[in-house]
Amino acid sequence: MVRAPVEAVVFDWGGTLSEFVSIEMIDVWTLAGQHLAPGREAEVAERLCAIEAQFWERTAGECRSATLAELVAEASAELRLDVAEAVLEEAAVRHLDAWTPHIRHADDARATLMALRERGLRLGLLSNTHWPRAFHERFLERDGLADLLDARLYTSEMAHLKPHPSVFEEALAALGVGDPGAAVFVGDRPYDDVWGAQRAGLRGVLVANHHAPAWSVTPDAVIASLSELPAVLDAWS
């Protein structure tokens, strides 16, 4: 089968453009616990951690997107804490700030994006997340990646998560790509990223790793690092 020339490349964020973060969620939620229930922060942090795990498992299983505000609201209802909207926002900031020291992009991310732009390719980002856009954007801007990505999509602003076909379709539309076969998706998860992209008609490139759950899928290519991607695309062209 003759495939269309590659016009665009869409990247996953966590584990692909940014390094996979292994962090104890109890540490992330401790700040919110201190704010919401002084004196009971350890108990509340443990409950919040369990609620988040259940929340993410449920929404991912339904392939339904969600926001951090929904998560905090659900947790507040379950813990029977009377939390006003302003406090929800502050708790969310405290939660996200706990991640800040742990977030860094791959060393070769910027050079790879620049190399692809030099080839005239349109570049996008599509991330499964319940974090707000501003949180992701500040890291992309900090590391000089934001201006290299023509479209940045976050499922916290969408109806579904990867691998739902609609999110890939929205990414292609944002990049002005009419033929899915002219686009490549790069990610670290065989199911969400590679299988989801291929089902939507894109080519799927897997960033090899040991943290993502296995899935029965054959990627169009497997790379050990982002720096290998330009050569893969050159070979396809």
DSSP state of 27: H
Q: What is the pLDDT along the chain (237 residues), one digit of tens a residue?
A: 568 899 999 999 999 999 865 556 666 677 677 777 788 878 877 887 888 888 878 777 777 777 767 777 777 787 776 554 444 556 666 666 777 777 899 999 999 999 999 999 999 999 999 888 988 998 999 999 999 999 999 999 999 999 999 999 999 999 999 999 999 999 999 999 999 999 999 999 999 999 999 999 999 999 999 999 999 999 998
pTM of the model: 0.76
Q: Give one DSSP letter per residue of 197-214, joined into a string.
A: HHHTT-EEEEE--SSSPP
pLDDT at 25: 65
Residues in Cβ contact with 140 at an 8 Å cutoff, skipping those fewer than 6 apart: 105, 125, 146, 149, 152
Q: What is the pLDDT of residue 117?
A: 98
Residue 14: strand pairing partners? 18
Give the per-residue pLDDT at 160: 95
- What is the per-residue pLDDT for 179? 97
Tokens matching residue 23? 């962090």
44-71 burial, b for 16+ CB within 10 Å, e for fewer? bbebbbebbeebeeebeeebebbbbbeb
Q: Distance between CA atoms of 37 and 44, rounded to whole angstroms?
A: 7
Query: What's the CA gap between 72 and 90, in Å, rounded?
Result: 11
State residue 84's pLDDT score: 40
The residue among 179, 172, 114, 98 whose CA lies nearest residue 147 is 114
